[in-house]
């Protein structure tokens, strides 16, 4: 288990992403994935009120998770994270928006508290202090335990943390951002802020929209809603170089490339638990394997050098 910053949240090294629930994974399949994840030792579930609204017109992921937790009676053994700020009609981080959104999420999730409540996207139209005060009120009321920042730049994250300190308001404890072997923009000023301020990172797109699973190769057609974006990496020398190194390490270890890609993330400074999703139980195994896969210095160096911009 790993800690989220200085919080009391102890989480499995791989967070289960659930944006596919109700979209490319129906309710029965979603239940099976959740069961297998927990049976394998997992406890950190990541969702959002906007998952997968784009496909279903509803916050289907939260609804499925809520029904599953109620049926399994396991809420208190989980670390549950959801988000506010991107759902149609509830965009942004105005206090009234946060208040409405959290009550809606609690109802759909069939729980009375959220362990980690993410500001899904930075809101430049609402003063940061107002958003933080809204999160602070929810912490004091026991509706959320901690707040996190998703998709924030370095300067805005640093500003938010300073305001929290100056005003005595709840502090963001973690950052969620895109980060993987072929998208390494996190390394630099943003990671420096996270490290210096004692936050944790729970990166998304850890498998680069499926590209780092190894199923994409020149001339191969993949049936996936994300195939177009993932295939773009194949058009670059760096993408091919990264895939070659990833495949080499995976082959030598006897594991899936996805396991190696996530294990590389787990070895990076500030990273507590990458977020990864599975459309079926079969895909889940590679994610669970990553949690126990410790790459050698030589393997990490090979992957690092192959994937550098």
d(CA 12, CA 8) in angstroms, rounded, equals 13
Task: Point out the catalytic residue in the list 37, 51, 146, 233.
Answer: 51
Q: Which residue is listed with tokens 């394997």?
A: 289
Q: Determine contact, residues 55/22, Cβ cutoff 8 Å.
A: yes
51 is catalytic: yes
Question: What are the tokens at 294?
Answer: 């410790």
The residues annotated with a catalytic role in the active site are: 51
């Amino acid at each position: 288990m790993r800690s989220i910053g200085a919080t009391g949240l102890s989480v499995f090294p791989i967070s289960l992403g659930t944006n596919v629930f109700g979209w490319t994974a129906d309710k029965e399949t979603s239940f099976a994935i959740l069961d297998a994840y927990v049976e394998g030792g997992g406890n950190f579930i990541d969702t959002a009120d906007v998952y997968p609204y784009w496909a279903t017109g509803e916050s289907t992921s939260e609804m499925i998770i809520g029904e599953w937790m109620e049926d399994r009676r396991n809420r208190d053994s989980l670390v549950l994270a959801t988000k506010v700020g991107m759902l149609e009609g509830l965009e942004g981080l105005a206090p009234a928006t946060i208040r409405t959104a959290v009550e809606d999420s609690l109802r759909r999730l069939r729980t009375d508290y959220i362990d980690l409540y993410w500001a899904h996207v930075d809101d430049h139209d609402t003063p940061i202090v107002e958003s933080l005060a809204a999160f602070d009120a929810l912490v004091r009321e026991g509706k959320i335990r901690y707040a996190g920042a998703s998709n924030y730049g370095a300067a805005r994250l640093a500003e938010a943390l300073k305001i929290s300190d100056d005003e005595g308001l709840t502090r963001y404890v973690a950052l969620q951002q895109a980060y993987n072997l072929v998208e390494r923009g996190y390394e630099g000023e943003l990671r420096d802020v996270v490290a210096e301020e004692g936050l944790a990172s729970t990166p998304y797109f850890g498998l680069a929209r499926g590209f780092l699973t190894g199923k994409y190769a020149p001339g191969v057609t993949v049936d996936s809603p994300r195939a177009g974006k993932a295939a773009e990496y194949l058009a670059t020398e760096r993408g091919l170089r990264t895939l070659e190194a990833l495949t080499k390490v995976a082959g030598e270890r006897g594991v899936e490339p996805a396991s190696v890609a996530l294990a590389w993330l787990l070895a990076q400074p500030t990273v507590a638990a990458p977020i990864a999703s599975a459309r079926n139980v079969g895909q889940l195994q590679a994610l669970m394997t990553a949690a126990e896969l410790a790459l050698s210095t030589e393997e990490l160096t090979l992957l690092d050098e192959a994937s550098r911009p």
